[in-house]
Amino acid sequence: MGYASYTIQRNGETIEAGYGIDATCEEPGCDADIDRGLAHLCGQTPGGDENGCGGYYCGSHLYIGPSEEIGDLCGRCIAALTRQQ
């Protein structure tokens, strides 16, 4: 099994994910073309986890996370993590 296309549950709905799935950055107002691969994922787990929302963002809206265990994060999630610390 590869990661080109698979389905996940996120916010109560089933969506397609994977690097073979074309998408648009989920940052409001951004229309950058991306895919729903792990390179664009906020957090470590497709669908979301304790630190990341599970959204997919372009390189301008996805930031290097504080550790490999947390993964890269969108602006809202990195701000929330900073407030928790």
What is the tens place of the pLDDT at every residue in 53-71? 999 999 999 999 999 999 9
- Structural domain including 34 reads 6-84
Q: What is the rounded CA–CA span in Å between residue 69 and residue 44?
A: 7
DSSP secondary-structure letter at 3? S
The answer as to whether 79 is a domain residue is yes
Domain count of the chain? 1
Q: What is the rounded CA–CA span in Å between residue 44 and residue 24?
A: 19
* Percent above pLDDT 70 for the chain: 99
The answer as to whether 15 is a domain residue is yes
Look at residue 3 in the predicted model and tell me its pLDDT.
87
Q: What is the pTM of this model?
A: 0.92
66: left (phi over 0), alpha (psi -120 to 50) or beta: alpha
Token couple for 44: 């470590």
The answer as to whether 71 is a domain residue is yes
The answer as to whether 26 is a domain residue is yes
The answer as to whether 76 is a domain residue is yes
pLDDT band at 33 (very low <50, low <70, confident <90, very high): very high
Residue 83 reports pLDDT greater than 70: yes
Q: What is the rounded CA–CA span in Å between residue 53 and residue 46?
A: 9
pLDDT band at 1 (very low <50, low <70, confident <90, very high): low
The answer as to whether 73 is a domain residue is yes
The answer as to whether 1 is a domain residue is no
The answer as to whether 74 is a domain residue is yes
Look at residue 9 in the predicted model and tell me its pLDDT.
94
